[in-house]
Amino acid sequence: MTDRFDLTGRVALITGGSRGLGRAMAIAFGEAGADVAVVSRKLDACEETAREVEALGRRAFPCACHVGRWDAIEPMADAVYDHFGRVDILVNNAGMSPLYPSLEAVTEDAFDKVIGVNFKGPFRLTALVGKRMHEGAGGSVINMSSIAAVEASPYALPYAGAKAALNCLTTGFAAAYSPNVRVNSIVVGPFATDISDHWADPRDRDHPGYTKAGLRVGQPSEIVGAALYLASDASSFTNGALLRIDGGPVRARRRV
C-alpha cells in the first residue's frame, strides 16, 4: 500500500511553497521521493524551504514569482521546466485574503489582487503546465481551495468568490485534460499557519491548536495525507473532486 504514495522520480511545483501548508507539502513530497520547485514571491524564503528539501536527499529549485501577475507565470514555468525537464505535480497553493473593515471599504485594487492570486494565477499556470502534462506523460494538479467557497462569510467575501471560481476551474480543467491529467481541489478549513495570527478570533496561546472560541484548527502536517493521496497513484481514479479537509462541523471541532 505504501508504494501507491511513492513519488520517486517525480517533480512537484508548489506555489506559495515557502511557508504554511505549502512548505508542509514541499517537505512531505520530498520525503516521498519527489524533487520540488518551491515558488513564492520572496526568493530568500523559497531558498530556505528548498534547503530543507535538499536535506532529504532530493533536488529543489527555489523560484521567486508573483502568481497574480499574468506575465510572470510563463517565465516561471519555463524556468522550472528548464531546471527539471518536467513537472508531474502542480499545487496551486498561493493565496491571499487581506482584511477589510467593511464590504463597502473594499478597494478595487485589493479586490483585483485577491482575484489575481487566488483565481487568475491558478488559471494561467494550470493552462500552461496542464497542457504540457496532457501532451506528455500526464500528471496531477492540486488546487488549494477553502471552505469559504461553500460557506461564504462577509469578512472574506472577495476571497470566497475567488475560491469558488477555483473550484469551478478544478472541474473544468479536469474535463479538459483527462484522462491522463487529474485535477482536484483540497477544500481547507482553518489551519494554524502564520495567516491565522491575523484572524479576528486568534489562536489561544494557552491551548495551541485552538482559537479563543475553543474551536480546534488544523496543523500544517494534517494537510499532508490528502496532498500525498492526490499527488500519487493512490488517487488514480479521482478526478474533478473537491476534498474537504476542515475538521468537520463546528461542534465537532470544539474543545471537550
Predicted confidence (pLDDT) per residue in 184-235, tens digit:
999 999 887 766 555 556 666 666 676 655 678 899 999 999 999 999 999 9
Tell me the average pLDDT across 239-254. Answer: 85
Residue 215 pLDDT? 79
State how many domains the chain has. Answer: 1
What distance in Å separates the CA atoms of residue 81 and residue 103, rounded to the nearest whole number?
Answer: 41
The β-bridge partners of 244 are 187
Asked if omega into 179 is within 30° of 0 (cis), the reply is yes
Residues 23-35 pLDDT 10s: 999 999 999 999 9
CATH code assigned at 14: 3.40.50.720
What distance in Å separates the CA atoms of residue 165 and residue 118, rounded to the nearest whole number?
Answer: 9
Residue owning grid cell 505535480 = 89
Average pLDDT in the chain: 92
Region of 85 (left: φ > 0; alpha: ψ -120 to 50; beta: rest) is: left
**Residue-number span of the structural domain to which 221 is assigned:** 2-253
Within 8 A by CB and 6+ apart from 208, the residues are: 192
Q: How many C-beta atoms lie closer than 10 Å to residue 112's C-beta?
A: 13
Helices marked H in 101-205: 108-115, 121-135, 157-177
Positions marked active-site: 159
Q: Provide the residue type at 93 as one letter.
A: N
- pTM (global) more than 0.75: yes
